[in-house]
Structure 1
Amino acid sequence: MLGYKARPTDYVYHYRMDQNMIGEGETKGLAAKYGVSLKNRREGQCAILGQDGFKHIEEKGPMGITWRKEYRKLLGGDCYMSESAYNRLTGENADVKPGTFQSVLGANGEGDYMVSVDQRLLHNMVTGEKLVTGFAGYLHNAMLATRVHVLDNTDYDRITSGLTNEWLENYVFFDDTDKGDLYGFSKELFYTIVDHSGPEVEQGEYWDQAAKKIAEDAGERYEYDKETIEEHGFSAISYNQRDSSEFRLTWLYMPLFRSLDQSDFIKTMAVYLMLFIFIAIVCFSAVMVIAYTRCLTIALNNRQVYDDLKHLGADGNYLRCSARGQISRVFLVPALVGTIAMFALYSLIIYFNDGGKFTPSELAGMGNCLLLVTACSILLYGVYRLTYHNILHVLKIVKY
């Protein structure tokens, strides 16, 4: 939710240029229907270019399955934009040097682990033109993060010359004046974009257009096509399920609309939230039952010992302290060690996830986790107190 609020642009969508997409006039008419006023519309083109890389090849040998890397001059594709298009969309003043590229990350540097900084050999997938480039740093914009790379204008014009519309995409940015039925407009605009998209772009974010062409040219089957995607553990998306979590989280051309994403966040993530909550309830229930049962077992096994202590003159305070010491170890040690170890592991994952730093949204998430830790600790303490009093009853120790 912090990420949605921090977005610099209210509406962003992109589409392949061979699609019969909704235009500016139709968008304004749709906005007027919901009493929404639009402003700051700007558009910028990007191109899908082939690029080199290392392919991981699986091999079976005496030691089992191993993988080796093999360099390929043409492995897959990615989206490249000219510096002028990037500046027009974002309002920035990026200056990319000829022969280099810059990759776009989130506003706080999120996603750098998803971007390769190796030198690249770019390919025009229609003409076969090639361009050697080198990594020259990062740009930061949440609306284009981890998918777009920026080239010098001259390099871009050269490498994209002759590309057909199926290899070109158009990005559209605009804002609203925060008046009218923003959610209703956003939702209908989203549906309209889906309706204007053809079956050729009914693909998940794992789909690589360049890799598909490379496989077809080699007479091979592309493994991430809709027809074969389920063989690799993914679910094929469908325009008929546009409101499903699978579609909204993985459609390759899913738009970023602030009001839609904010309002539908719970609905979009409901299947994952409910799954995690269900697992948490099962695990915590098991912890409580096991801890209670273990404590009760200890009490029953030592009932004769406590009875003998009473006859030897031990007072109630000593017996209560002894019983408390027996059961506190069952609750305190696993809970304390588990909580500290798990939160430390979580913190390390978050820290190294974005190049050795904590972003504001990650810090907020860690704060929420601390609140959950507090709530769960209070719950476990309640179970501990209930167990303690039941143990006193079983051992027939006078309560204080």
Structure 2
Amino acid sequence: MTMNNIYSKLRSKNIKNYYMLIFCIILSIVLVASYAVMFFSSTVQEILPIGGDSMKQAYLIFGIAIVGCALFTTYASSIFFKYKNRETGILLSLGAKKSQIKKVLFIELSLIGFVSSLIGLTLSIPVSFGIWKLFQIFIIDIKEMVYKIGWPGLIYGIIFCILIIISIFIMGLKFINRTNIIDILNEHRKCEIVKDIKSWYGVVGSILIIVGMLLGYAIPQISIRYLNFRMPAIWNITFLLSAIGMYMLITYIIVYNKKGKNLKKYYKNIIPKSMMKFMGKQTVKNMCTISFLISGALFAAFYTPLNVSNLFYSLDNNPVDYSFHYKESENQIKKNEIYLLAQKHNVNITSYYEVPSISLIVNGINANFMDNGKITYTHIDKIGYSEFFSESDFNKISKQNVDVKPGEYLTIITPESLESIHERFNDLNKITNPVTNVSQKINYAGTITFQPFVKQGTTKYVISDEDYKKYAKNLPIENFENFVLFNVKNPDKTYAFANDLKNEIIKRSSKAVAVSKFYDDYEKKLALEKGEKYYYESINLSSDNNLLFQDWKYYPSFNVLDRQDIIKNMSVFLMLFIYIAIICFTAVAIIAYTRSITIAINNKTLFNDLKNLGANNKYIEKCIKVQLKKIFTIPTVVGSTSIYLLFFFIVYGNSGSISPGEYAGLRINFLIMIVTGFFMYLVYRLSLRKIKKIIQI
């Protein structure tokens, strides 16, 4: 009988272990490759701005998915090799050489890796399509959500396959290089006891979790704000302190067992606690992996609610239903035409205002990021244009009573910005007339809140009527803009009117205003004088442009449309991040379930001995529950609490306070934590049922 025949016979006796490894590899590849196929599709890439925070978050989440699936596959491979010890021990005891076993094993692993990779990559496209369609059916279905295959994603899938196969081969090589037959035969019985630890271990672990987050996130923020220094990328390694803290805290909970005053409780649970202690190292590793995956899943799940709730809160508290602005040089839609269009759609306009503004050249501060991390700030006398309103016009539209003296200005901000300790509103101290090129000093007089005037990429100010008239004199028409603001009755029911008005505004806008929201006439002039290309112009000004709402400088702000645009923009994030959460939770469920079954298999003999000593089924079930509750509860609490705490630091650190919208997002995230706990409870019940069948109670 040849080696292959013997190996084949042994394989048939342990075929379930092979099926489990193949299933885990296929599942990991399908999850990673299908996500990559969706992520790198043109539909997703067009919605996510290149180089923006959204794209960075998506890549970070993609990295979490890859690490999560890699950990999951590594865990499955370790179990496969653990139960393959007996086969290898039998072959060695029969006189087989290691080189022979290595050859057969590597052929076997090559076949498993190739077949699993082929199946996983093949399934990734239909799986991504099915998930996309399910998302459209149950969450949101808009015309922009068109499924397109991101072929570059398959390249990432192939790279992941190669890395997985290489890691399995390395584990196989380490496995085969062991020489002691007795150790191999008894590998599955080997205890991995963690040495006794002190009572301070858990306290230090908890402190390290918080310190790691503060050092990794807060210190870079403080360094930029107060020290004008950007921490190097290697500083992110400080987050590892949180990982070390999680390991210490979990180890403490598993291993530390002091008698205390309640001796009855101590001896009552001594058997299940000792069982966990004997397998301490492996248990702690598994629980740390589960904690990491839960943290990754919740990081993905927390991102969208926090952003959406904040945006919707701003819309709900916007005092103006409809607002848009345009250059006076444009032949834009007029008041009577707006009323006629509203009449056509049976929309009742309750208030209507038009407010002019002038564009003047302002000074500012330019941040320069040096290679050594130092941040220098350069004061520039003429940095670009900003818009100015007269105090009387501003009071008319905002229903406020501001009083600005000549030579002073107020900065218009949002209510959220008012709470921020990081925002700077007083950088302006010089205004230049673009016609006469005469500059005048101007003093900061404070801030004033009015949300409709605040838009990303622009800064707006209020000056006295005297200064406004002085600067407006002899200004060309290109330096005048008109702001139109009005309210309607039942704004949520005016979508058709809003859409038609938006299309009419786009239709009447000339190519001269087809510019990005970061476009500035003065910046363009400086760039052209230096012979440089200016990149913030010539966008596709069309109603069919799905990205116009986030690109166009003069895109109208209609609350009823903004809600749709938010949903449209965040739908992609929601789909990607929910999918990442599914990937991580799938891995969590399988690892926790497998670890639970391992407890039953490894300790089956011990449970039988307990029965022979007189223990009833109720006591044995209690021993199992004590262990399972720790396996499921501790990683869930540690992982979810840690990531929730990190998000709290991020939200607070962004502005130095927490806005009402952010509070709403944090409440939603807390509910997600509760749902996570319920999910883990279901896996716990399923695991308990299976264990009771294995040990026959």
1:91 aligned to 399, 406, 412, which one? 399
How much has 1:265 moved relative to structure 2? 4.5
1:344 aligned to 625, 632, 645, which one? 645
CA RMSD of aligned residues (A): 2.8
How much has 1:193 moved relative to structure 2? 0.8
How much has 1:85 moved relative to structure 2? 2.0
How much has 1:312 moved relative to structure 2? 4.2
1:48–1:210 Cα contact (<8 Å) kept: no
Q: Say which structure is richer in helix.
A: 2
Secondary structure at the counterpart of residue 15 of structure 1: strand
How much has 1:263 moved relative to structure 2? 5.3
Secondary structure at the counterpart of residue 194 of structure 1: helix
Q: For residue 389 of structure 1, what is the aligned residue in structure 2?
A: 689
Secondary structure at the counterpart of residue 331 of structure 2: coil
Q: For residue 664 of structure 2, what is the aligned residue in structure 1?
A: 364
Which whole-Å CA distance do the structure 2 matches of 1:203 and 1:297 have between them? 62
Q: For residue 208 of structure 1, what is the aligned residue in structure 2?
A: 520
Secondary structure at the counterpart of residue 216 of structure 1: helix
2:329 aligned to 18, 25, 35, which one? 18
2:518–2:536 Cα contact (<8 Å) kept: no
Aligned residue runs from structure 1 range 30-49, under 5 A: 30-49=341-360
- In structure 2, the CA distance between the partners of 1:158 and 1:330, relative to structure 1 (3 Å rule), is farther
Q: For residue 443 of structure 2, what is the aligned residue in structure 1?
A: 134
Which whole-Å CA distance do the structure 2 matches of 1:330 and 1:59 have between them? 48
Which whole-Å CA distance do the structure 2 matches of 1:110 and 1:342 have between them? 27
Matching residue's letter, 2:477: N
How much has 1:8 moved relative to structure 2? 1.3
Q: For residue 282 of structure 1, what is the aligned residue in structure 2?
A: 583
Matching residue's letter, 2:621: R
- In structure 2, the CA distance between the partners of 1:287 and 1:137, relative to structure 1 (3 Å rule), is farther
2:462 aligned to 146, 150, 158, which one? 150
- In structure 2, the CA distance between the partners of 1:94 and 1:241, relative to structure 1 (3 Å rule), is same
Which whole-Å CA distance do the structure 2 matches of 1:173 and 1:317 have between them? 72
Larger Rg computed on CA atoms: 2
1:103–1:115 Cα contact (<8 Å) kept: no
Which whole-Å CA distance do the structure 1 matches of 2:591 and 2:439 have between them? 64
Q: Deviations over 1:161-181 (max 9, x none)?
A: 433233322111112233896
Which whole-Å CA distance do the structure 1 matches of 2:648 and 2:491 have between them? 40
Q: For residue 259 of structure 1, what is the aligned residue in structure 2?
A: 560
How much has 1:123 moved relative to structure 2? 2.4
Q: For residue 316 of structure 2, what is the aligned residue in structure 1?
A: 5
- In structure 2, the CA distance between the partners of 1:282 and 1:164, relative to structure 1 (3 Å rule), is farther
Which whole-Å CA distance do the structure 2 matches of 1:238 and 1:289 have between them? 48
1:45–1:169 Cα contact (<8 Å) kept: yes
Which whole-Å CA distance do the structure 1 matches of 2:491 and 2:549 have between them? 25
Alignment of 1:56 onto 2:358: no
Q: Deviations over 1:326-379 (max 9, x none)?
A: 2323321221122222222323333344442x3332222222222222222212
1:83–1:94 Cα contact (<8 Å) kept: yes
Secondary structure at the counterpart of residue 79 of structure 1: strand
Which whole-Å CA distance do the structure 1 matches of 2:499 and 2:612 have between them? 77
Q: For residue 390 of structure 2, what is the aligned residue in structure 1?
A: 82
Aligned residue runs from structure 1 range 198-277, under 5 A: 198-222=510-534, 224-226=535-537, 237-240=539-542, 242=544, 244=546, 246-262=547-563, 265-277=566-578
1:101–1:134 Cα contact (<8 Å) kept: yes
Which whole-Å CA distance do the structure 2 matches of 1:179 and 1:290 have between them? 50
Aligned residue runs from structure 1 range 309-328, under 5 A: 309-328=610-629
Larger mean Cα displacement after TM superposition, 304-313 or 186-195: 304-313
Q: Deviations over 1:281-332 (max 9, x none)?
A: 2222222223223333344344444344444444333332332232323321
Aligned residue runs from structure 1 range 155-166, under 5 A: 155-166=467-478
Which whole-Å CA distance do the structure 2 matches of 1:388 and 1:219 have between them? 72
Alignment of 1:123 onto 2:447: no
2:327–2:482 Cα contact (<8 Å) kept: yes
Matching residue's letter, 1:42: Y
Q: Say which structure is richer in strand.
A: 1
Identity %: 31
How much has 1:141 moved relative to structure 2? 1.6
Aligned residue runs from structure 1 range 289-308, under 5 A: 289-308=590-609
Q: How many residue pairs align between the two structures?
A: 382
Which whole-Å CA distance do the structure 2 matches of 1:115 and 1:171 have between them? 25
2:388–2:462 Cα contact (<8 Å) kept: yes
Which whole-Å CA distance do the structure 1 matches of 2:577 and 2:491 have between them? 36
Matching residue's letter, 2:443: G
2:589–2:683 Cα contact (<8 Å) kept: yes
1:19–1:198 Cα contact (<8 Å) kept: yes
Which whole-Å CA distance do the structure 2 matches of 1:59 and 1:201 have between them? 35
Q: For residue 496 of structure 2, what is the aligned residue in structure 1?
A: 184
Secondary structure at the counterpart of residue 136 of structure 1: strand
Which whole-Å CA distance do the structure 1 matches of 2:500 and 2:613 have between them? 81
- In structure 2, the CA distance between the partners of 1:115 and 1:43, relative to structure 1 (3 Å rule), is farther
Question: Where does structure 2 lack aligned partners over 5 or more consecutive residues?
Answer: 1-311
1:124–1:159 Cα contact (<8 Å) kept: yes
Which whole-Å CA distance do the structure 2 matches of 1:380 and 1:209 have between them? 57
Matching residue's letter, 2:643: M
Q: For residue 231 of structure 1, what is the aligned residue in structure 2?
A: none
1:118–1:134 Cα contact (<8 Å) kept: no
Give the structure-2-normalised TM-score: 0.50
Which whole-Å CA distance do the structure 2 matches of 1:312 and 1:35 have between them? 84
Which whole-Å CA distance do the structure 2 matches of 1:118 and 1:193 have between them? 34
Secondary structure at the counterpart of residue 221 of structure 1: coil
Q: For residue 29 of structure 1, what is the aligned residue in structure 2?
A: 340
Q: For residue 230 of structure 1, what is the aligned residue in structure 2?
A: none
1:37–1:179 Cα contact (<8 Å) kept: no
Secondary structure at the counterpart of residue 143 of structure 1: helix
2:503–2:543 Cα contact (<8 Å) kept: no
- In structure 2, the CA distance between the partners of 1:172 and 1:300, relative to structure 1 (3 Å rule), is same
Q: Deviations over 1:23-69 (max 9, x none)?
A: 11211121121122324221112233332233233444xx5x65433
Secondary structure at the counterpart of residue 368 of structure 1: helix
1:175 aligned to 463, 466, 487, which one? 487
Which whole-Å CA distance do the structure 1 matches of 2:616 and 2:430 have between them? 83
1:104–1:141 Cα contact (<8 Å) kept: yes
2:516–2:536 Cα contact (<8 Å) kept: no
- In structure 2, the CA distance between the partners of 1:141 and 1:385, relative to structure 1 (3 Å rule), is same
Larger mean Cα displacement after TM superposition, 103-112 or 267-276: 103-112
